[in-house]
Structure 1
């Protein structure tokens, strides 16, 4: 467990200052963000929110997957979500490589066959964003009163570009 010692120590410092005990877990700002797992993205900070303000769902490419839709339905009906941001980003690995290239790189790193591992690339980021926003807007359990926007986050400038 030594490889986690630094993280456990950091957690103990975090817990010492933790001041949201008893918080009910709703999205206080009414926001949900679907974005990429990229470590250059700080979802709350990029829109001026803090702990407890939003629900965050992250995956490679920031796609609206069935799991993301499940999270959004729960967020809308149980957790105070009234605005949804779908936010892929610039210089994304799954939007700038082919599936074959990513599989090759994973296979090299793993030292074995990776041809069986699903890797969902994004051939056209604008088209994928439009599809994902449409999925949320037309979902039968997400009412028309929920505002849904499509944005691209620029990892170099920190700016959001609203596209939809």
Structure 2
């Protein structure tokens, strides 16, 4: 049995009722969500959306890095996004640990020096969220084309709180 057999079996079941053939890929609800890769977050469900409604961009910490900004520009100009949500979450490893702690854990797991890797740690989650939202708002190709908001998702209650 292959290590991906369970996943392929589940995919075959999913494909039996698949109905997105020919879908154009635009964001039907006009939403782009930048959030963390944490598996406790189900971006569509937490917002009452369904597949096809939003563009979802995920990375450690839900930070707005250069690649995320590029994706947001494409989303705004080509995929009908007019609302951007930046959504980090409570109890996030990259927001609640220092770079030294994360680096030590990563080095131990990898069995080698990982100092060359970028870790998206922050000294303060609220300040980082405000900076990320401002970065999106200030982008010359996004600016007034989309409303941008910063929110915090609580992984223990499922609630979203507007921060910025």
**Do both proteins adopt the same fold according to a TM-score greater than 0.5, normalized to the shorter chain?**
yes
Q: Which whole-Å CA distance do the structure 2 matches of 1:36 and 1:13 have between them?
A: 28
Partner residue in 2 for 1:91 = 91
Residue segments in structure 1 that go unaligned for 5+ positions in a row: none
Partner residue in 1 for 2:120 = 120
Q: Which whole-Å CA distance do the structure 2 matches of 1:143 and 1:101 have between them?
A: 36
Q: Pick which of 114-123 and 133-142 moved more.
A: 114-123
Task: Confirm whether residue 12 of structure 1 aligns to residue 12 of structure 2.
Answer: yes
Shift of 1:33: 0.2
Shift of 1:122: 1.3
Q: Which whole-Å CA distance do the structure 2 matches of 1:120 and 1:81 have between them?
A: 26
Shift of 1:103: 1.1
Q: Which whole-Å CA distance do the structure 1 matches of 2:65 and 2:139 have between them?
A: 12
Shift of 1:117: 2.2
RMSD across aligned C-alpha pairs, in angstroms?
1.1
Q: Which whole-Å CA distance do the structure 2 matches of 1:149 and 1:3 have between them?
A: 40
Given that 2:136 and 2:143 are in contact with CA atoms closer than 8 Å, whether structure 1 keeps it comes out as: no
Q: Which whole-Å CA distance do the structure 2 matches of 1:88 and 1:137 have between them?
A: 17
Shift of 1:106: 1.1
Partner residue in 1 for 2:52 = 52
Q: Which whole-Å CA distance do the structure 2 matches of 1:119 and 1:86 have between them?
A: 18
Residue segments in structure 2 that go unaligned for 5+ positions in a row: none
Q: Determine helix, strand or coil for the equivalent of 2:69.
A: helix
Shift of 1:143: 3.5
Number of aligned positions between the proteins: 164
**TM alignment of 1:3-152, pairs within 5 A:** 3-152=3-152
Q: Which whole-Å CA distance do the structure 1 matches of 2:137 and 2:159 have between them?
A: 24
